[in-house]
Amino acid sequence: MSTSEEVSKKSCGGLTRSEVTNLLQSVIGLHGIEVKDDRIELPGVHPSADVPKSELPDETKTTVILYKDITSISPFEARVEVLLHCGELYIFSTTDSIKTHINTHSDGKNAKSEKPTTAQDVAGNIWNGLEKTLVSGKK
C-alpha cells in the first residue's frame, strides 16, 4: 500500500498509537515528539504562528494532540503534516528541527467547526492569512 493510500484510509480520525508512530517515524526523534497511549506531545511548538521568533518567550510550551482530534497525517519526503479536525496544521521538517504551526481558520478562532475541515478550506485560509501578513508588512 502506498503512503497516499495509507493516509487517505486513515484520514477520518481514530488513529491508533502504532499508526501514529508509523506515520511520524521520520520526525519523532528529530523533533522530540513523545508518543503516548492516547496523544502525542510536541515540545517547543508555540501556539501562535504570527509572533516573530525574537518575541517568543524563553520557556516553551508542550503541545498535546489527542489521536481522536487528528484528521490526517501526511508524510512527504521533506516534511510530515498533521492536520487536526479544528483546522490547525503542524508541519515537521524531516531534514532539520524546523516545525511550523498554522492556524488555518479564516476567522482566527480555535473553535471546532461542525463539519470537518477540507483541504480547500485549509488552502484558502492559508492564502488569506499570507495575504494579510504581506499587506501588514508593507505598512
How many domains are there within the chain? Answer: 1
What range defines the domain where residue 76 resides? 3-137
Dihedrals φ, ψ of 66, to 5°? -75, 140
- Does the predicted model carry a pTM greater than 0.85? no
Convert the pLDDT of each residue in 41-86 to its tens digit: 988 654 444 555 555 555 567 889 999 999 889 999 999 999 888 8
Q: Which residues contact 13 (CB under 8 A, 6 or more apart)?
A: 67, 68, 69, 70, 71, 85
